[in-house]
Chains A and B, each alone.
Chain A
Amino acid sequence: MDYILSALKDAINLILSLDPEVSNVVGTSLKLSLTSTFLAALFGIPLGIIVSKIDFKGKYFLNTVLNTLLSLPTVVLGLFVYSIISRRGVLGEWGLLFTIRGIIIGQVLLIIPIVVALVRNAIHDIDEKMYKTAMSLGATDSQKFRLLISEARYGIIGALITSFGRVIGEVGVSMMIGGNIKGFTRTITTAIAMETNKGRFGFALALGIILLSISFIINFILYFFQSGESK
């Protein structure tokens, strides 16, 4: 109980004093998770539409693989990406290990399956009649695309929120690919892991509280976007 109380006090102090190390770590986490979520959306949303709306051979298999990837442990993905971008790996010459870009690659790979699978589900849930009516009225491809996006928007925003939550809270990829380098690739989660190892439990808990607060604010803003239009 002592830990939790002193952690709350620590967290408030850290936020109020704008501790440079903490703001640096928070900035890195935000930068990483926003960029990764954006890139995953860029690839994932069209892929989700393709998977749900276009019939092709092996679709059943692809869907099963997608659903399996939802339970991918971050450490396994971290190891996989490490083996590719290590100097001994295929892309070793690009020098991506222990960089921001390396982490982004890992995180995007982590959440693309989530975006694709959730967008696929959201589009499945749309009223089929409306789409068929639009087709029979001779909608162009871009009109069909816009119809799908606007009808499935809640599901799509939900997919992005889930993905954002997954990356900002993950530690495996950031630790293995980023290396927890102070002032460079240290994120909130890797800092929590390190402070716990150092025995500074209160400080680690304080960082956890800060992470949850940030996540709360971002979800609050997104929820505002979602509900703003139905009023």
Chain B
Amino acid sequence: MFKNNYLILGMTFLLLIACIVFIGSTAIAQERLVLATTTSTENSGLLDVLIPPFEEKFNTRVDVVSVGTGKAISLAENGDADIILVHAKDAENEFVEAGFGVNRRDVMYNDFIILGPTSDPAGVKGMENASKAFSKIAKTNSSFVSRGDDSGTNKKELSIWASADIEPSGNWYIETGQGMGASLNVANEKEAYILADRGTYLAYSSDLDIEILVEGDSQLFNPYGIIPVNPAYHNHVNYQMAMAFVGYITSQQGQKIISEYTAYGKVLFHPSAIKLKNLK
């Protein structure tokens, strides 16, 4: 039976490792807060400096799940997250009105920008009105890349089309169904226009030929809100810890971390829970 020994040895070895890791993985018994947020927030790196002081103070673990705004909201509706940090004001209001969330607070804002090829075939460079710029792009049938993934950026883009009274369709309108980064690359390859959040654009800017053409319109304002899941609707959620996190992120300490955070040499987010002049 010597032949069999190697196999048995191998199997026992595997069994041993598996048992050890399985026991190891159950040993953690720390309190846990599941935060569903958008990819733009996590990719910016802000949460890596914002969350650790909270975890330490409250002896808890914040598990960040980063998905598109649409998916973050549906995770919360299903009770699979304790709290959400997203950017789509209308969808957030619907979420609260339907009774899924309570105590929404403003946290911070940044802005969207319209990018396009340097040749600028639609001639939108320097325009101050986003809907007018969109109309011009549509009228000249210039290629435009849309996320098409129900993310906060996609919702914003659709609302700008709606305000320009245009239903975008045709060969020039390219829906990628992918994240911001992948979509920026598509726009770059196709020399197309695209709406992007400033943070992701900065992360990619060294690899991109398309440039900022329109910025600064109030319509391009991008506010982030935080909403705990309603414990009356999903009674298993960690509501107490969620409210503690809301308290922390809107406190002097939390807002200060947001205002001081820079990436790629630029400030990415501006706190909005406390007025800048009151920030100590």
Contact = CB atoms under 8 A, between A and B. Distances in A.
B180 to A, nearest CB: 8
Contacts of A146: 4
Contacts of B17: 34, 38
B177 interface: no
Contact of B204 (A100, A180, A199): A199
A87 B181 contact: no
B98 interface: no
Contact of A225 (B10, B64, B65): B10
B203 interface: yes
A229 B3 contact: yes
B9 to A, nearest CB: 7
B132 to A, nearest CB: 30
A136 to B, nearest CB: 21
B113 to A, nearest CB: 16
A9 interface: no
B25 A101 contact: yes
Interface in A45-99: 86-88, 92-93, 95, 97-98
A9 to B, nearest CB: 18
Interface in B128-155: none
A196 interface: yes
A87 B79 contact: yes
A100 B179 contact: no
Nearest to B1: A150
B272 interface: no
A92 B79 contact: yes
A133 interface: no
Interface string B6-31: 11011100110110011011000000
A98 B14 contact: no
Contacts of B43: 194, 197-198
A228 interface: yes
Interface string A147-188: 001100100110000000000000000000001111011000
Contacts of A181: 63-65
Contacts of B65: 98, 179-181
Given A180-B66, A229-B3, A37 B234 contact: no
A100 B27 CA distance: 12
Contact of A87 (B182, B207, B236): B236
B34 interface: yes
A35 interface: yes
B120 interface: no
Interface string A9-23: 000000000000000
Nearest to B229: A87
Contacts of B41: none
Contacts of A35: 18, 21-22
B230 interface: no
Contacts of A38: 14-15, 17-18
Interface in B208-238: 234, 236
Interface of B: 2-7, 9-11, 14-15, 17-18, 21-22, 24-25, 34, 39, 43, 48, 61, 63-66, 78-80, 179-182, 200, 203-204, 207, 234, 236
7 contacts: A34-B17, A41-B11, A88-B79, A92-B79, A194-B43, A225-B7, A225-B9
Closest 9 CB pairs of A and B: A87-B79, A179-B65, A38-B18, A31-B21, A181-B63, A199-B204, A225-B10, A197-B181, A88-B78
Given A31-B25, A150-B7, 20 more contacts: A34-B14, A41-B11, A86-B78, A87-B78, A88-B79, A92-B79, A98-B34, A101-B25, A149-B4, A149-B7, A157-B7, A181-B63, A181-B65, A197-B39, A197-B43, A197-B179, A197-B182, A199-B200, A225-B10, A228-B6
